[in-house]
């Protein structure tokens, strides 16, 4: 199961590691999932056991993977329309590759103010949508604000509410430092998934 709802403070969010493709084999153990930037390394699924695999896509029109991941992370998702467009492309891709229909889920990551203000549009965008999150570092950079400031905190709360309205898991991101604090905060705020950016992963 890629994501998990977190409806109480006793729920511990699942942890995924975001890393580059060449570093992925080293992270296959010790996390619930890997969020991979780049092509899926050959044989990683066999070595990863129960670890689920998520590939980062730069946009809804990005090239789709030749090997089946458990999900794709749609970076810089602007609205539910982006998710709907990607979902339609995935349906065709699955049919062409002989994959099970609907097997590849979507995690949508908002990264700018427009996406935050249109967060309600993700509800009902696609049955593939499994999670909704916020790239806090990208939002802060775009606003010229502090990543730990009030503006980003409010955006994080709005995205959390939008995920609840859509009936999907809310996910948060964190750097490799302070991961325990990030997990504790995610648990308090009802996030079901925390994605840790490993050293070398894109911001």
With CA atoms as reference, report the closest residue to 127 among 80, 74, 68, 65. 80
Express each pLDDT in 107-152 by its tens digit. 999 999 999 999 999 999 999 999 999 999 999 999 998 887 899 9
Q: For position 114, what pLDDT does the model report?
A: 98
Q: For position 39, what pLDDT does the model report?
A: 84
Q: Which domains does the chain have, with CATH numbers?
A: 14-197 (3.20.20.60)
Rounded CA separation 150/46 (Å) = 43
Q: How confident is the model at residue 64 (pLDDT cuts 50, 70, 90)?
A: very high
DSSP string, 94-160: HHHHTPPTT-SEEEEEE-SHHHHHTGGGGTTS-TTEEEEEE-HHHHHHHHT--TTSHHHHHHHHHHH
Task: Summarize the chain as % helix, strand, coil (round to 5).
Answer: 35, 20, 40
Instruction: Give, for 172, the enclosing helix (H) or strand (E).
Output: strand 169-174
pTM: 0.90
Express each pLDDT in 5-41 by its tens digit. 555 555 678 888 888 888 877 776 667 899 999 888 7
């Amino acid at each position: 199961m890629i994501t998990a709802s977190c409806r109480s403070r006793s729920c511990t969010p699942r942890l995924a590691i975001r890393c580059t493709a060449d570093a992925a084999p080293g992270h296959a153990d010790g996390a619930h999932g890997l969020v991979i930037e780049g092509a899926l390394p050959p044989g990683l699924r066999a070595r990863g056991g129960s670890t689920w695999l998520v590939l980062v896509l730069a946009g809804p029109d990005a090239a789709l993977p030749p090997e089946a991941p458990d999900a794709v992370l749609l970076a810089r998702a602007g609205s539910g329309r982006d998710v709907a467009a990607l979902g339609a492309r995935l349906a065709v891709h699955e049919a062409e590759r002989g994959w099970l229909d609907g097997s590849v889920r979507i995690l949508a990551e908002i990264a700018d103010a427009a996406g935050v203000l249109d967060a309600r549009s993700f509800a009902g965008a696609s049955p593939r949508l499994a999670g909704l999150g916020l790239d806090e570092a990208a939002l802060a950079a775009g606003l010229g604000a502090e990543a730990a400031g009030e503006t980003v905190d409010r955006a994080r709360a709005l995205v959390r509410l939008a995920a609840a309205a859509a009936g999907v898991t809310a996910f948060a991101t964190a750097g490799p430092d302070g991961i325990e604090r990030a997990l504790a905060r995610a648990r308090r705020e009802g996030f079901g998934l925390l994605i840790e950016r490993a050293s070398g992963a894109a911001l």
